[in-house]
Amino acid sequence: MKAGNSLYSLVFFLVLQAGCLAQDQQPYLVETFDSNDQSWPFIGNGDGYNISIADGHLVMDGNRTAIHSYKKIAVTEETDFAVYGKMIFLEGDHLGWMGLRFMMSEQADKYCSFVFNNDKGFLVAVNKGKKYEVLRQSKSLVVKPYDYNSLTVIKSAYTYKFFINDKQVHEEKIKSFFGPLVGDITNQNMKMQVDEFQVYDPKSG
């Protein structure tokens, strides 16, 4: 089994809460995690996980299950946008994946992922529900093990560019658009911290 497949086979797909679907949508997002005023879901203790927001940090502890948290934004297949996150590994499985999810369906069963680990690895994948496809899995010297790393995905029409610490590591054409959810993911048996999360217009930078 590929390392990427092991992550997503372990992911516990948390049920979407009605409050998430009812929240006000916005095309772009700037999140500093000073509070949960923007209503990220699954905050608190759950079955095998804990997610907290305080003092400028989103802390995700997947002690017994892979977990995610996300926001619904007002983007469509025609919208060009960029997703950015700055995060750091805290403890647990140092080979576990952590990073971004984007274009996720509102049922949370279809999505694209861009993740990395402390072995300088990165992974770009598409989960189409019944079909999981690794688009690129490799290692890169731009990944900083046990330190802060920033991930950026820039969408322009059907072309997606993937950056780690502002260095491009991959480019891919993805024609599937599953939905308007974007967020963060961490593997089972690991804990990570997100300090910044943004969705912005790539034309304005």
What pLDDT digit, counting tens, does each position of 121-179 carry?
999 999 999 899 999 999 999 999 999 999 999 999 999 999 999 999 999 999 989 99
Determine contact, residues 116/144, Cβ cutoff 8 Å.
Answer: no
Q: With the C-alpha atoms ordered 199, 180, 170, 109, is the resulting torsion angle positive or negative?
A: positive
Residue 198 reports pLDDT greater than 90? yes
Pairing outcome for strands 67-72 and 44-46 = unpaired
For the cut 50, the answer to whether the pLDDT of residue 20 exceeds it is: no
pLDDT band of 99, cuts 50, 70, 90: very high
pTM score, two decimals? Answer: 0.85
Read off the pLDDT band of 24 (50, 70, 90). very low
CA 166 to the chain's CA centroid: 17
Q: Is the pLDDT of residue 44 over 60?
A: yes
* Percentage of the chain exceeding pLDDT 70: 86
